[in-house]
Structure 1
Amino acid sequence: MTGLPAIPDTYTPQEVVDKMVEAVLTVPGIFRVLYDLTAKPPWTTEWE
């Protein structure tokens, strides 16, 4: 089971990434966001 990496402006349009950033910045208390660019879907590393 594999997925496409969410590379900005390749598989994910830059406009979508910008909207995500704007939405996150409206939440008080958030000081760090990690963006996973791996090709594996979350929680499937040991599933295979």
Structure 2
Amino acid sequence: MRVEYFHIDKQNELVEYYNKTIVPLQNELNKEKENFDNRVNNLV
């Protein structure tokens, strides 16, 4: 997942552009989904 945003620093009149890839969060979500799937399978 990519996140893009601008940070505006009015004091220094700077505009910073950020383009970051967020990996850990996605990994966590995948783990959660896996856990959920396992629980559902155990119920069936």
TM-score range, shorter-chain basis?
Answer: 0.3 to 0.5
Query: Using CA pairs below 8 Å that are at least 6 residues apart, which structure has the higher relative contact order?
Result: 1
Higher strand share: 2
Higher helix share: 2
TM-score (norm 1): 0.32
